[in-house]
Structure 1
Amino acid sequence: MKSQVEQQGIVTLTSEATESMRSSELWNDDLRPTTLKEHTWSGLNFATLWIGMCLCIPAYTMASGMISLGMNWWQAIGTIFLGNVIVLIPILLNSHAGTKFGIPYPVFARLWFGSKGAHIPSMARAIVAAGWFGINTWIGTTAIDVLLSASFSTWANLTGHTAIIFALFWALNVGVAYKGPQAIKVLSLLAAPIVGIAAIVLLIWAFTSAGGFGPILSTPSKFTTTGSFLKIFFPALTGVIAFWATLALNIPDFCRYAKNQRSQMIAQSFSLPLTMSIFSFIGIAVTSATVVIFGTALWDPVQLLAKFPPYVIFLGTIIIAIASLTINVGANIVAPARAIENLYPKRITFGLGALITGVFAILMQPWYIMSNFGNYIFGWLGTYGALLGPIDGIAIADYWLVRKKQMALQELYDPKGRYSYSSGYNKNGIYALLIGVAIPLLGLIIPGARFLWDNAWTFGLFIALFTYTYFMRNDHSILRSGEYEKITHFSTGTDTQPPEFIAK
Structure 2
Amino acid sequence: MKKEESYLKSPDLLPIAHKDKKIGTTGFAMMWVGMAVVLAAFAIGGAGVQSLSLTWVVLATLIGTIAIGFFITIIGDIGIEHGLSFPVYMRAPFGTLGTHIPSIVRGLAASFWFGINTYFGSTAMNAILNVLFGFDNWFICFMIFATVQLVNTSLGIKAVERFADLAAPVIILISVWMYISLSDQALAQGREVWRWIESPVTGGAAISAFLVVIFSNMGFWATISADIPSISRFIKAPQFERSWLKRNKGTLVGSIIALPLTQTFMVIIGGVSYIAVSNYDPVVALQEAATGLVLGILLLMIVLAQWSTNVSANLVPAATIFSNVGGPKVPFWAGVFIAGIIGSVVQPWSLFNILIPILLVVGGILSSIIGILYCDYYVLRKRRVNVPDLYEPNGQFRYARGVNLAGLIAWTIGGVAAYYLSTYSFLVGFVVGAVTYYFLAKFWWFKKYTQAEIIDPSDEKYLGLTVGRDWVIETDVEKVSVKEVGSTIEKGRD
Decide: shared fold, TM above 0.5.
Answer: yes
Please show how residues 310-349 of structure 1 align to structure 2 within 5 Å. Answer: 310-349=292-331
The one-letter code of the counterpart of 2:346 is M
CA displacement, residues 77-134 of structure 1 (integer Å, 9 cap, x when unaligned): 2222222122223211111111000011110111111111110121111111111111
The one-letter code of the counterpart of 2:339 is T
User: 185-194 vs 315-324, which deviates more?
Assistant: 315-324
> 1:477 corresponds to which residue?
451
CA displacement, residues 179-228 of structure 1 (integer Å, 9 cap, x when unaligned): 12221111111111111011123334556787799434222473443222
> 1:14 corresponds to which residue?
none
Secondary structure at the counterpart of residue 455 of structure 1: helix
> 1:180 corresponds to which residue?
156
Aligned residues: 456
Given candidates 417, 420, 423, the residue that maps to 2:395 is 417
CA, structure 1 residues 214+121, in 2 after alignment: closer, same or farther (shift >3 Å)? same
Please show how residues 88-99 of structure 1 align to structure 2 within 5 Å. Answer: 88-99=69-80
CA displacement, residues 415-448 of structure 1 (integer Å, 9 cap, x when unaligned): 111122121111110111111123345x4xxxxx
Please show how residues 37-436 of structure 1 align to structure 2 within 5 Å. Answer: 37-68=19-50, 70-153=51-134, 155-156=135-136, 161-205=137-181, 214-220=191-197, 222-260=199-237, 261-285=248-272, 288=275, 291=276, 296-297=277-278, 299-307=280-288, 308-370=290-352, 372=353, 377=356, 379-380=357-358, 382-436=360-414
Counterparts of 2:225 and 2:13, CA distance in 1: 19
Contact 1:95 1:255 in 2 (8 A): yes
CA displacement, residues 432-467 of structure 1 (integer Å, 9 cap, x when unaligned): 1111123345x4xxxxxxxx3432221121011011
Secondary structure at the counterpart of residue 329 of structure 2: coil
Deviation of 1:492 after TM superposition, in Å, equals 6.6
Given candidates 424, 428, 431, the residue that maps to 1:462 is 431
Counterparts of 2:96 and 2:400, CA distance in 1: 10
CA, structure 1 residues 210+30, in 2 after alignment: closer, same or farther (shift >3 Å)? same
> 1:449 corresponds to which residue?
none
Contact 1:129 1:336 in 2 (8 A): yes
CA, structure 1 residues 203+386, in 2 after alignment: closer, same or farther (shift >3 Å)? closer
Counterparts of 1:45 and 1:328, CA distance in 2: 16
Counterparts of 1:318 and 1:275, CA distance in 2: 17
CA, structure 1 residues 230+187, in 2 after alignment: closer, same or farther (shift >3 Å)? same
User: 26-35 vs 383-392, which deviates more?
Assistant: 383-392
Secondary structure at the counterpart of residue 49 of structure 2: helix
The one-letter code of the counterpart of 1:274 is L
Secondary structure at the counterpart of residue 394 of structure 2: coil
CA displacement, residues 363-409 of structure 1 (integer Å, 9 cap, x when unaligned): 22211222x3xx754x3354113311211111111001110000111
Deviation of 1:282 after TM superposition, in Å, equals 3.8
The one-letter code of the counterpart of 2:375 is A
Contact 2:49 2:197 in 1 (8 A): no
Contact 1:174 1:354 in 2 (8 A): yes
CA, structure 1 residues 500+23, in 2 after alignment: closer, same or farther (shift >3 Å)? farther
CA, structure 1 residues 299+483, in 2 after alignment: closer, same or farther (shift >3 Å)? closer
Please show how residues 29-44 of structure 1 align to structure 2 within 5 Å. Answer: 29-44=11-26
CA displacement, residues 26-49 of structure 1 (integer Å, 9 cap, x when unaligned): 112210001111123221011101
CA displacement, residues 115-165 of structure 1 (integer Å, 9 cap, x when unaligned): 111101211111111111111011101122233334444x24xxxx12111
Deviation of 1:362 after TM superposition, in Å, equals 1.5
Counterparts of 2:219 and 2:70, CA distance in 1: 13
Contact 2:47 2:271 in 1 (8 A): no
Deviation of 1:267 after TM superposition, in Å, equals 3.1
User: 44-53 vs 76-85, which deviates more?
Assistant: 76-85
Counterparts of 1:492 and 1:392, CA distance in 2: 27
Deviation of 1:51 after TM superposition, in Å, equals 0.8
Q: Percent identity?
A: 26
So what's the TM-score if we normalise by structure 1?
0.83
CA, structure 1 residues 54+416, in 2 after alignment: closer, same or farther (shift >3 Å)? same
User: 406-415 vs 174-183, which deviates more?
Assistant: 174-183
Deviation of 1:71 after TM superposition, in Å, equals 2.1
Deviation of 1:238 after TM superposition, in Å, equals 3.1
CA displacement, residues 299-344 of structure 1 (integer Å, 9 cap, x when unaligned): 4222344343422233234332111100011111112111111112
CA, structure 1 residues 384+312, in 2 after alignment: closer, same or farther (shift >3 Å)? same
Please show how residues 12-31 of structure 1 align to structure 2 within 5 Å. Answer: 24-31=6-13
CA, structure 1 residues 235+49, in 2 after alignment: closer, same or farther (shift >3 Å)? same
Secondary structure at the counterpart of residue 308 of structure 2: helix
CA, structure 1 residues 112+164, in 2 after alignment: closer, same or farther (shift >3 Å)? same
Q: Structure 2: which 5+ residue stretches go unaligned?
A: 238-247, 470-482, 489-494
> 1:4 corresponds to which residue?
none
Contact 2:76 2:232 in 1 (8 A): yes
Contact 1:242 1:381 in 2 (8 A): no
Counterparts of 1:151 and 1:71, CA distance in 2: 39
